[in-house]
Chains A and B, each alone.
Chain A
Amino acid sequence: MPLEKELVLFETKKAELLQTHEGKFALIHGDEFIGAFDTAENAYDEGVKKFGKEPFLVKRISPDPEVYRNQAFMLGLMNARI
């Protein structure tokens, strides 16, 4: 799966990152933490500059995990005709 290594590293470093960079976006490539950025866009731009089209992780440093919530979509109701 893409980003597997990066996600493991993020979880390993999460407590430390929360103390130093809470609210920012972490840029991780492979098993290397590149840095923390104010916006996801800045982190992404730096990732492309350094790694081109290779996969890298841009993840919000937050105690609460980012979750995608969409009840209608999950229930298959987006295009239902009753």
Chain B
Amino acid sequence: MPVFDFFHWDKDKGYTLAETGAILQVTVGIPPALEQLCLRDGIAIPAPITGYALIDTGASASAVHEQIFTDFGVQPIDHIPMSTPHTKDKFSFVYPAKIQFPGLNLSNDAFLSTMRVVGCELKWTTFDNKEIIMLMGRDILKWFLMVYNGVQSDVTLAY
């Protein structure tokens, strides 16, 4: 079972896990089918966007900053309700995306080739200048064993 360790530390701030939450680098790109279409039509493939994903065990699915899809020119493929005791009648679009985690050197990442992700307004920058562009929800976490070590400011994912 491959094990990946994400030590949250900053040279000025020290241990940062409690401040930033559990984060790992992520790359968001257009789905492979659209890449093929671009190649066929001689259109430049939009460069993938790299940022950080916040691991969010409270999220049923993964979400990505919606503007990224607007910039890519990727159309939504679904429209689903959002549930919370504080909001009613709110809906979000669902987008297809190629999601990759450079820190997870997975040999078999078929489950991430084209994902359905929710589009949300969620981009922000952590105090140590890491740009959050994604919430990694339980739809991805279901593949992993996760250890949150608050004392050592460390998160371990095993696949």
Residues of A within 8 A of B (CB): 1-3, 7, 40-41, 44-45, 47-49, 52-59, 65-75, 78-79, 81
Using a CB–CB distance below 8 Å, which chain B residues touch chain A? 19, 31, 33-34, 36-37, 54, 56, 58-61, 63, 73, 75-87, 92-93, 96, 113-114, 116, 118, 120, 122, 124, 132, 135, 137
A2 to B70, CA, bound (A): 13
Given contact pairs A67-B81, A70-B58, A70-B63, A49 touches B33 in the complex (Cβ within 8 A)? yes
The docked-state distance in angstroms from the alpha carbon of A75 to that of B80 is 18
Q: Is there an interface contact between A52 and B37, defined as CB atoms closer than 8 Å?
A: yes
Q: Report Cα–Cα, A48/B134, bound state, in Å.
A: 25
Q: How far is the CA of A7 from the CA of B91 in the complex (A)?
A: 13
**B135 CB contact (under 8 Å) in A3, A58, A73:** A73
B33 contacts which of A2, A7, A45, A67 (Cβ < 8 Å)?
A: A45
- Does A48 contact B34, Cβ atoms closer than 8 Å? yes
Q: How far is the CB of B143 from chain A (nearest CB, A)?
A: 16
Which of A41, A53, A55, A69 makes the CB contact (< 8 A) with B114? A41
With A2-B93, A40-B114 as contacts: A73 and B80 at CB distance below 8 Å: no
Contact between B135 and A53, CB atoms less than 8 A apart? no
Q: Is the CB of A2 within 8 A of B118?
A: no
If A59-B78, A70-B82, A71-B84 touch, whether A44 touches B33 (CB-CB below 8 Å) is yes
For residue A35, give the distance in angstroms from its CB to the closest CB of chain B.
15
Q: Which residue of A lies closest to B82 (CB)?
A: A68
A-B contacts, 14 of them at CB < 8 A, read A48-B31, A53-B34, A55-B76, A58-B116, A66-B80, A68-B59, A68-B63, A69-B83, A70-B56, A70-B59, A73-B58, A73-B135, A74-B86, A81-B19
B113: shortest Cβ distance to chain A, in Å? 6
Q: How far is the CB of B112 from chain A (nearest CB, A)?
A: 10
